[in-house]
Amino acid sequence: MNESTPATAAPLARLIDELYKLPGIGPKSAQRLAYYLLRMPAEEARALASAIVEVKERVTFCSICQNVTEVDPCRICMDGERDRSIICVVEEPLDILAIERTQSYRGMHHVLHGAISPIDGIGPEDLKVSELLQRLRSGEVREIILATNPNLEGEATAMYLTRLLRPLGVLITRLARGLPVGGDLEYADDVTLKRALEGRQEIES
Amino acid sequence: MSAPRMYKTEAVILRQRRLGEADRILCIYTPAYGKMDVKARGVRKTTSRMSGHLQPLTCCMLQLAQGHVNDVVAGCETLESFQPLRENLDRLSRGLYAAELIDRFAPERMHSFPTYRLFVETLRRLAEAEDLDQTLRFFEMRLLDQCGFRPELEACSGCGSRLEAVDNSFAPISGGVVCHVCAGGIAGAGVLSLNGLKVLRLLQHGSYNDAMRVRIEGPLAREVETHLRSFIVSVLERDVNAAAFIERLRREGARHAVEA
């Protein structure tokens, strides 16, 4: 993208080109970041470079849950105190962090690494679906929690997995959907409000 | 006269992609402005008041503010959510296929009242229809027609001679049906049965109700689908992504039926 000009040294132009490849980074942001890195103390720049190299060399995918990990199997899969009969299926590794933060789930996880998006050409074959089926063959699992995002792609993925897993005889559940904490009823859309009404619960005294 | 700083438009969300921390770029289809990309700020947060209204295949009323690159969604309200589409994978996959075709065919920022109406009506039909594939075939034929790519079904598109009531061929590269004399020299020409030709003509000339009154099943339905798909791929010069997913669902559905 950036040809080396008299105004830009070749290594700097190369750095700008590499930063420009990152998601959400435009040409101007790439230039700003490159000049920021240039002014950074050499130690900090080296630490950043080694962190990038290390993450590529040492971090891998857990062969069981497909989460990112530096030891295979990952710590969650090795934890003997977790309930192995429940698997929570999520789209991305970051979703596991969100669920673990609640400290109210002690089952296992499975990361699909994406969601079905037919319009973008992303189908089940691009996700870690066959690995999930492999885990179910042991017969140990009795419940699958579909925790894909409550958007169109997430719903499509959940519907596809339901269709695929139902013949296997495991209980399939979906995270509850409805009004978010702090939200206003008057701004709720039809779909959310309908599901909130369907999922209403008796108030316990 | 310059466009107003804030304006309202009806729109259907075609697709979306992530932007930054919590924003999305939405590709929307509108009757007055055609296809356009708009920015929706903060809609990936669970507390967003707009995210539910801005899901793909939702028809909504948008209030847009002019932006430097993309206009920005300032307010929105759902007009139709086509709920049955979201609750059935077969319906949803067909709805996404229709949205992808609109995305590929519609030019940016060009008004498109008839095509917008066709698209919204198709989403309504896909939410209710029993024969989803026949509904899609009607949509495909009308969309080609409205976008200026009407397939020639009355005369041979090679030599212009009147078609005989026998099996002919369909050649996307020639623009429609070709007689058996011309078919030999055209790459990609496939056999089109007489019944296949009649169905294509019905889709081209008849109303939606006329088209749905005839039950098209089995090999004949596949023949019509194959020819229309090859025509669309030829016009677009690329595959339709959602078609592969529909095909997969069909394959897996047939396998499950056999196993059951």
Choose among A156, A180, A188: nearest Cβ to B92.
A156
Answer whether B138's CB lies under 8 Å from B208's CB: yes
Of all helices (H) and strands (E), which one includes residue A96?
A: helix A93-101
CB contact (8 A) between residue B245 and residue A188: no
- pLDDT for the residue numbered A1: 53
- pLDDT for the residue numbered B2: 59
Give the tens place of pLDDT for each residue, B85-127.
998 999 999 999 999 999 999 988 888 899 999 999 999 999 9
Minimal Cα–Cα distance from A137 to chain B, Å?
18
Answer whether A169's CB lies under 8 Å from A196's CB: no
Q: Which residues from B are below 8 Å from A175, CB to CB?
A: none
CB contact (8 A) between residue A120 and residue B97: no
CB proximity B69 to A under 8 Å:
no
pTM above 0.95, yes or no: no
Instruction: Tally C-beta pairs within 8 A across A and B.
Output: 77
Give the tens place of pLDDT for each residue, B165-204.
888 899 999 899 998 888 887 877 889 999 999 999 999 9
Minimal Cα–Cα distance from B97 to chain A, Å?
7
ipTM of the complex: 0.87
Answer whether A69's CB lies under 8 Å from A135's CB: no
Could you say which DSSP state residue A36 is in? H
Measured between CA atoms, the residue of chain B closest to residue A193 is: B52
- pLDDT for the residue numbered B65: 95
Establish how many alpha carbons lie within 13 A of residue B87's alpha carbon, considering only the half-sphere containing its beta carbon.
9
CB contact (8 A) between residue A118 and residue B246: yes
User: Under the phi-then-psi rule, with left for phi > 0, alpha for psi from -120 to 50, and beta for the rest, what region is B205?
Assistant: alpha
Q: How far is CA A70 from CA A46, A73, B92, in A?
A: 21, 9, 39
CB atoms within 10 A of CB B138: 25
CB proximity A101 to B under 8 Å:
no
pLDDT higher than 80, residue B260: no
Kindly state the percentage of chain A with pLDDT values over 90: 67
Q: Which residues from A are below 8 Å from B246, CB to CB?
A: 118
Choose among A123, A167, A189: nearest Cβ to B245.
A123
Answer whether B38's CB lies under 8 Å from B71's CB: yes
